[in-house]
Amino acid sequence: MTHYSIWRTPLSTSRSYRSPQRTADAAATRAAIVDAAALLFARDGYAATPMRAIATEAGVSAPSVHLAGPKSALLLAAFERTFAGDEGKHSLTERPLMADILGEADPATLLARYVDFIGAANARSAGIWSALVAAADVDALVRAASVDLERRRRRDMTLGAQMLVSRGLIAESRADYAADVLGFLTSPQSYLYFVDESGWDRARYQAWLATSIQRLVLTP
């Protein structure tokens, strides 16, 4: 006779659970790592910044930095975070602050806020942009990331031009032209030329930017 035990081991059930505190801690750690990388890349350059230096600056362990991604990914994340305020490949037009700016009813207020945003964003990220451009010449991963970043910038300029068309600020026939011109005017390269190389202060740069957008993009 076969005897069956009355004791049965219950089937184990796994539940997916993420502690809000753990999620917040992980986000804070990543932000510290990316911010540290941004500071060091802008100050010392990409090649001269080892992962261990990022760990020291961020106050975390070296394995934590490596878990955050390869060095090339940290460089791109550093640019995105300093320019746009957060990471990700989503359009700049989808980020809360830019969406709020583009929602301005008054064109003059919209232009003023947009120029303020671009001026501050380029001021924060210009050093990292220089590091990214230099690294793209010698690092294939950075070069690929740079190409993708330029593609996304072009997408954002196109979306911006389409918004101007929808608001009646430019003609449909000028949308492609507007995207091209906006891409140049708002680029980190333009900021670096006028501010870092020519010695302009940010107020003068932003005045030039506002005037140039008004004359070259918004004026028929």
Show me where the domains of the chain are located. 22-218
The answer to whether the beta carbons of residues 101 and 117 sit under 8 Å apart is yes
pLDDT value for 19: 78
Residue 18 tokens read as: 């993420």
Q: At what angle do helices 107-136 and 71-84 cross, to 10 degrees?
A: 160
d(CA 29, CA 165) in angstroms, rounded, equals 42
Question: Digits of tens for pLDDT over the chain (220 positions)?
Answer: 444 443 344 444 445 556 788 888 888 999 999 999 999 999 999 999 999 999 999 999 999 999 999 999 999 999 999 999 888 888 888 899 999 999 999 999 999 999 999 999 999 999 999 999 999 999 999 999 999 999 999 999 999 999 999 999 999 999 999 999 999 999 999 999 999 999 999 999 999 999 999 999 998 7
d(CA 201, CA 216) in angstroms, rounded, equals 22
What would the CATH number be for the domain defined by 22-218? Answer: 1.10.357.10
d(CA 214, CA 185) in angstroms, rounded, equals 11
pLDDT value for 115: 97
To the nearest 5 percent, what fractions of the chain are helix, strand and coil?
75, 0, 25
State the pTM of this model: 0.84
pLDDT value for 15: 55
